[in-house]
Amino acid sequence: TQLEQALRNAIIANEVDVHFQPIVDLRNDAVVGFEALARWCDADLGYVSPAVFVPLAEERGFIESLAETLLRKAAHAALSWPKELFLSFNLSSAQLMDPATSSRLLTIINQIGLDPRRLELEITETAVMADAETAQKIVTELRAAGVRVSLDDFGTGQSSLGRLRDFSFDKVKIDRAFVSRISVDRASEHIIKAIVSMCEGLELQVVAEGIEDFSEALKLKALGCGMGQGYFYGKPADAVATMRYLSDRY
């Protein structure tokens, strides 16, 4: 298709970009890391969402080359940041089904010189479930190299608490569906409180996603959530704007 060809060309031409959204320590609002988010604007097709082109690349079998371009750009940017903040990178389900993924990712950051302890990989429960055995193997290899792994969109999809016991993660990202309802219904507040308490027991870090205003930030702090992310702290921005954001602070 036209979209597929345009995407293949954009990857080769290095035109798929990566933006960065800050993740903060909720106790003091200090930036602790950034999530890398793929962005692509085609000359003819205009802006195409990663929710469209990532699955397309997976289906058509070129997710590896897309992921490699993105990780290269993201890791390069992270090297130039004024502090050793972590870089959080999303893994797709096809990558979690490919046993070569761990060595591929480690080779890339090793070539670029990014310390694996600064890399964090976001995976979803849905992606893990597609091939739990392979996913487990990949995660184990990455964690052995010092890379941290977070469970993204927690609380949505086919969540299983058993997954938290059987799988070794470092961090849980609470889906913004809960955060966006925290001011309007008590149920979301109770659910977040329960997730935070469970994660404390399991020694997992917690990030609340999609914080859009001050009152949500206050509530999450009060609930003991350690980290936050969302438009209130910063929208995803390109590498140059991200450097500016950081130099204003550090």
**Nearby residues of 21 by Cβ (< 8 Å), 6 or more positions away:** 34, 35, 37, 229, 234, 235, 236, 237
The entry of Na ion, Mn ion, ligand G, none near residue 51 (CB within 5 to 8 angstroms by kind) is ligand G
Report how far residue 204's alpha carbon sits from residue 161's, in angstroms, rounded to the nearest whole number. 13
Residue 189 binds Na ion, judged by CB under 5 A: no
Angle between helices 50-59 and 63-80 (to 10 degrees): 130
From residue 150 to residue 179, the character string flagging contacts with Na ion as x (rule: CB under 5 A) and all else as - is --xx--------------------------
Residue 152 binds Mn ion, judged by CB under 5 A: yes
Q: What share of the chain is helix, strand, coil (3-state, %, to 5)?
A: 50, 20, 30
Helix H or strand E segment including 67: helix 63-80
For the segment 23-82, give every residue that binds Na ion (CB under 5 A).
none
- Which of 58, 120, 122, 216: binder of Mn ion (CB under 5 A)? 122
Amino acid at 65: S
Report how far residue 238's alpha carbon sits from residue 229's, in angstroms, rounded to the nearest whole number. 16
From residue 192 to residue 211, the character string flagging contacts with Na ion as x (rule: CB under 5 A) and all else as - is -----------------x--
Residue numbers at the binding site for ligand G (CB under 6 A): 21, 37-38, 49-51, 54, 70, 90-92, 122, 152-153, 176, 209-212, 230-231, 236
Provide, rounded to whole angstroms, the least separation between the CB of residue 49 and ligand G: 5
Provide, rounded to whole angstroms, the least separation between the CB of residue 247 and Na ion: 28
**Residues at the interface with Na ion (CB under 5 A):** 152-153, 209
